Amino acid sequence: MRWESVGETTCSVARALSVVGERWTMLILREAFLGRRRFDEFQARTGVARNILSARLRALVRNGIFERIENAPPGDHVQYWLTAKGLDLYPILVAMLRWGDKWMACEGGPPVELVHRECGYKTRPTLVCSHCGSKIDARTTTPVIRAIPAQRRGGASKARTRLNPPRRSE
Amino acid sequence: MRWESVGETTCSVARALSVVGERWTMLILREAFLGRRRFDEFQARTGVARNILSARLRALVRNGIFERIENAPPGDHVQYWLTAKGLDLYPILVAMLRWGDKWMACEGGPPVELVHRECGYKTRPTLVCSHCGSKIDARTTTPVIRAIPAQRRGGASKARTRLNPPRRSE
DNA sequence: TTTTATAGTTGCATTTCGAAACCGTGGGCG
DNA sequence: CGCCCACGGTTTCGAAATGCAACTATAAAA
């Protein structure tokens, strides 16, 4: 299977990855969420090669993540603005930030912290249940398959695996 | 800049991406969170080529995401178990799932839903502020840079960009 | 003994990436 | 006018990653 066809799956994760799953794309988006909007800014901040950046930006515009604005003041430069669809990628970025902070920490603590402007305090955004409001993790959540996602091979006989969420001993 | 060196950045997002940012990796993890543990299961479910899968699994084990267990019952097969570090990637996957559900929806609604076992209800996990508990998004949060992340070029004079979070008119 | 299942590895054609050079437009300026 | 620079790319080309199929190794089953 080629990577380009993961977006044609019925899986929402795969579809999301078809938009943001390429190398550099999330780093470009990181810069966008930090307020950068120009080609050369993205290039200098992320270190991505210019041709790759060009291709990624084009794809992101095509996928409705960025809006490309020419002749934008000040200076009439080209600018890339996050759309509502793009802004909505924020939780993915934050989830990566939090995991990186926890498991790949630099010496001296996380280089970026978030402030929640509504309450004014530093925040470490957390995933909670939309129903009961308590914290969510892999152990306390069960996936329920609704549509059968196109079995690749027919072999669903005795080797059928259970769809239980993972539970380790530790 | 080569992709392999993004993990040496001080940015937590980049460091996270150095572990889960390769093609196929998140799809392999999706299957892991669905309870798959075996090589051929991952292969059949994701459609990734076997050599690529082999390389990804090796890297994930090296990075402490999977634990590789040989001679595991039943059947003495090799199994890949998520470690605590791996299980903690769940919010990233869920964030992608939620975004895909919202913006790349299939006809007929999302193919997978989540049930929160603690409360017993279907849940759509949401990111909230760890301090005040209200919903978080890109508009209501401000990043604060703590350590200066190694400027690539010196040009931080008048062209210095503001570090404001993006705000669109729409 | 032969077949099957599992977990890979190998070889090779194709695709993508990465670095640097180049290009086109527009402005500032002497 | 003629020159230089900033910006936003594109082009070129060698290097690396990917994708597919075939092959291997090991152990169990038939």
Structure confidence by residue, pLDDT tens digits, B3-33: 999 999 999 999 999 999 999 999 999 999 9
Residue A91 phi/psi, 5° resolution? -60, -35
Q: pLDDT for A127-152, tens place per residue?
A: 999 999 999 999 999 999 986 544 43
Domain assignment of residue B161, yes or no: no
What pLDDT is recorded for position A148? Answer: 53
Question: Please, is A2 exposed, middle or buried when counting C-beta atoms within 10 Å of its C-beta (0-12, 13-18, 19+)?
Answer: exposed
- Is any Cβ of chain B less than 8 angstroms from the Cβ of A156? no
pLDDT at B118 over 50: yes
Domain assignment of residue A18, yes or no: yes
| Residue of B86, B148, B87, B98 whose CA lies nearest to A94 | B98
Q: How confident is the model at residue A30 (pLDDT cuts 50, 70, 90)?
A: very high
| Residue of A28, A85, A90 whose CA lies nearest to A53 | A28
What pLDDT is recorded for position B148? Answer: 53
Tell me if A99 and B147 make a contact (CB, 8 A cut-off). no
Of B18, B46, B132, the CB nearest to A119: B132
**What is the average per-residue pLDDT within B124-144?**
96
CB within 8 Å of B76: residues ≥ 6 apart: B70
CA Rg value for chain B = 20
pLDDT at A158 over 70: no
d(CA A116, CA B155): 30
Q: pLDDT for A59-108, tens place per residue?
A: 999 999 999 998 877 778 899 999 999 999 999 999 999 999 999 998 88
Q: Which nucleotide is nearest to B50 (CA to C1')?
A: C8
Domain assignment of residue B169, yes or no: no
Q: Which nucleotide is nearest to B1 (CA to C1')?
A: C18
Percent of chain A with pLDDT over 90: 75
Do B48 and B26 form a contact (C-beta atoms < 8 A)? no
- Contacts with A125 from chain B: Cβ below 8 Å: 127-130, 136, 141
Q: Using CB atoms and an 8 Å cut-off, which of residues 15-44 of chain B contact chain A? A: 15-24, 26-27, 30, 32-36, 41, 44
What pLDDT is recorded for position B147? Answer: 62
Domain residue limits at A129: 3-138
pLDDT at B126 over 50: yes
CATH of the domain at B14: 1.10.10.10
Domain assignment of residue A165, yes or no: no
Tell me if B127 and A125 make a contact (CB, 8 A cut-off). yes
Domain assignment of residue A159, yes or no: no
Q: Which nucleotide is nearest to A57 (CA to C1')?
A: D9
Note the helical H segments in chain B: 12-20, 25-33, 39-46, 50-62, 84-87, 90-103
- Is any Cβ of chain A less than 8 angstroms from the Cβ of B125? yes
d(CA B164, CA A20): 23
Structurally, how many domains does chain B consist of? 1
What pLDDT is recorded for position B106? Answer: 86
What pLDDT is recorded for position B73? Answer: 72
A100 CA: distance to closest CA in chain B (Å): 4
Domain assignment of residue A47, yes or no: yes
Query: Distance of alpha carbon B51 from its chain centroid, rounded?
Result: 22
Can you tell me which residue has the tokens 């082999």? B54
Tell me if A136 and B116 make a contact (CB, 8 A cut-off). yes
